[in-house]
Amino acid sequence: MVNFLSLDTDCTDAWDFIRSCRILNLPALGFFKGRLNVDTLIGLRDRDVLTQTIRRWIKAEGGEPDAARESPS
């Protein structure tokens, strides 16, 4: 299962967590397995890079990346 969540990076209470995920700039997209930060993608990326990265993360989780639904262009 894949969940997408957001985090208010202006909230000072979250800064320690943000640093622990190696988020030093925005936008950022983090991949977590359980509560462990496995990978973090920093910076604006084109659609193909995001799709490849998310498919790799899904595959690492044991899912089927080809079964992932994509939104229309």
pLDDT tens digits, 2-55:
677 888 999 999 999 999 888 889 999 988 888 888 888 899 999 999 999 989
Q: Is 0.85 surpassed by the pTM of this model?
A: no
DSSP string, 6-59: ---TT-GGGHHHHHHTT--SSSEEEEEETTEEEEEEES---HHHHHHHHHHHHH
The per-residue pLDDT for 24 is: 86
The per-residue pLDDT for 4 is: 76
Please say if the pLDDT value at position 72 is more than 60: no
Helix (H) or strand (E) holding 60: helix 47-60
User: What is the rounded distance in angstroms from the CA atom of residue 45 to the CA atom of residue 26?
Assistant: 11
